[in-house]
């Protein structure tokens, strides 16, 4: 079966699984009740991101069989993704202390990194560097930060889904530009799994993703970024550019809260996107703004990096500058006024 039909099937399966999970959540009263730290005002079922997890894990063996991804990478993504999703699912349905969640996240990152044939070289200013053991530590930190920031940024309707779809579609385009279209299959299939869920999560959301889905997306996107860097070192910078909205907002907010001495593991709603949704009185304008920024600003920069027209680090700094200004404009990390 061609990639097109696998993609269509995945969208349908994810849509059906999300529908079933919504019915299950309603029957078991698994509902997010709005509180002072919420960005929504209507009780909504949660845990729909499990549909993304199940759909993508089911298709990953096909990805390996078709040769769209090496079997070690398939095993790494499946193990890390499933592990992180289980931790998120348990946290969704109870509570796991932050220190144990963090330990579990590093275990998932270690599993994924263990299956890489070698760590990608870091390309800066036309020179590539082998970082050795320090590189593995940095890669683990990147994976853990991505899966946690994805959880932090999954706070308004549709935003995490739109981010995943546009990043994956952009990553697939980069492979096509480099003349390797079959390598586009893994990110495209992940986009398909998220698209089926987005039908139910688009503003106004009828179900939320939950920690299982957001953590899974974070670690898998990180794994796909490392896979891309292994193919061509400049693609790591390109993927980080594509992820810019989430990386910049989450990192800026975290640093500001750390400097103020906040307990950063406690729930809050001081991200720029949360302030923006309150300012505009709706989630849809902010989610659509993320879509526009990703397509019209970040994707072109990622493309010129992939094609070698500009150094990746320089392009990342240029691409992130307006995002930093937006973070300041929308008070990212600032204490909410009583």
For tokens 């204490």, the residue is: 335
Confidence of residue 265 (pLDDT cuts 50, 70, 90): confident
* Domains of the chain by residue range: 3-329
Residue 252's Cβ-side half-sphere holds a number of Cα atoms within 13 Å equal to 26
Angle formed at CA 84 by CA 80 and CA 85, multiple of 5 degrees = 115
Tokens of 23: 């019915």
Mean pLDDT taken over the chain:
93
Query: What DSSP string describes 255-278?
Result: HHHHHHT--TTS----SHHHHHHH
User: Range with the lowest mean pLDDT among 1-5, 16-20, 318-322, 323-327?
Assistant: 1-5
Kindly report, residue by residue over 305-333, the tens digit of the pLDDT.
999 999 999 999 999 999 999 999 999 99
For the chain, first and last CA: distance in Å? 57
Residue 155's Cβ-side half-sphere holds a number of Cα atoms within 13 Å equal to 24
Tokens of 291: 């879509």
Reference 119, options 104, 130, 107; nearest CA is: 130
Which distant-in-sequence residues (6+ apart) come within 8 Å of 68 by Cβ?
3, 182, 183, 185, 186
Residue 208 contacts residue 48 (beta carbons within 8 Å): yes
- Residue 131 pLDDT: 86
Annotated ligand binding at 35? The verdict is no
How far are the Cα atoms of 6, 35, 60, 191, 194 from residue 53, in angstroms, in the given order? 16, 27, 11, 12, 9
Confidence of residue 36 (pLDDT cuts 50, 70, 90): low
Q: How many CB atoms lie within 10 A of CB 18?
A: 28
% the chain with pLDDT above 70: 97
**What pTM value is reported for the model?**
0.95
- Residue 145 pLDDT: 96
Tokens of 259: 């400097």
Kindly report, residue by residue over 83-106, the tens digit of the pLDDT.
999 999 998 877 888 899 999 999
Annotated ligand binding at 151? The verdict is yes
Residue 185 contacts residue 3 (beta carbons within 8 Å): yes
Which distant-in-sequence residues (6+ apart) come within 8 Å of 290 by Cβ?
159, 162, 163, 166, 245, 273
């Amino acid at each position: 079966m061609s990639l097109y039909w696998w993609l269509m099937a995945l969208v349908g399966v994810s849509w059906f699984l999300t529908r079933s999970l919504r019915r299950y959540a309603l029957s078991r009263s698994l509902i997010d009740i709005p509180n002072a730290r919420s960005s929504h005002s209507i009780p909504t079922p949660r845990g729909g991101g499990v549909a993304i997890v199940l759909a993508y894990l089911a298709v990953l063996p096909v990805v390996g069989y078709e040769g769209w991804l090496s079997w070690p990478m398939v095993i790494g993504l499946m193990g890390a993704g499933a592990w992180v999703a289980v931790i998120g699912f348990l946290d969704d349905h109870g509570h796991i202390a932050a220190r144990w969640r963090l330990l579990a996240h590093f275990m998932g990152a270690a599993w994924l990194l263990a299956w890489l044939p070698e760590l990608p070289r870091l390309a800066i200013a036309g020179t590539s560097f082998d970082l050795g053991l320090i590189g593995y530590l940095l890669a683990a930190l990147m994976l853990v930060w991505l899966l946690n920031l994805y959880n932090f940024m999954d706070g308004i309707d549709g935003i995490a889904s739109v981010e995943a779809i546009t990043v994956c579609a952009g990553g697939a385009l980069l492979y096509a530009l480099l003349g390797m279209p079959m390598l586009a299959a893994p990110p495209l299939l992940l986009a398909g799994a998220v698209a089926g869920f987005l039908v139910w999560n688009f503003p106004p959301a009828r179900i939320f993703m939950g920690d299982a889905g957001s953590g899974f997306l974070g670690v898998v996107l990180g794994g796909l970024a490392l896979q891309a860097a292994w193919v061509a070192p400049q693609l790591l910078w390109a993927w980080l550019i594509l992820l810019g909205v989430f990386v910049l907002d989450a990192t800026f907010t975290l640093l500001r809260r750390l400097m103020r001495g906040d307990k950063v593991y406690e729930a809050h709603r001081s991200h720029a996107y949360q302030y923006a949704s309150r300012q505009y009185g709706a989630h849809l304008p902010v989610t659509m703004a993320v879509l526009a920024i990703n397509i019209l600003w970040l994707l072109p920069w990622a493309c010129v990096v992939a094609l070698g027209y500009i150094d990746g680090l320089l392009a990342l700094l240029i691409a992130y500058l307006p995002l930093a200004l937006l973070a300041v404009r929308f008070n990212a990390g600032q204490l909410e006024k009583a």
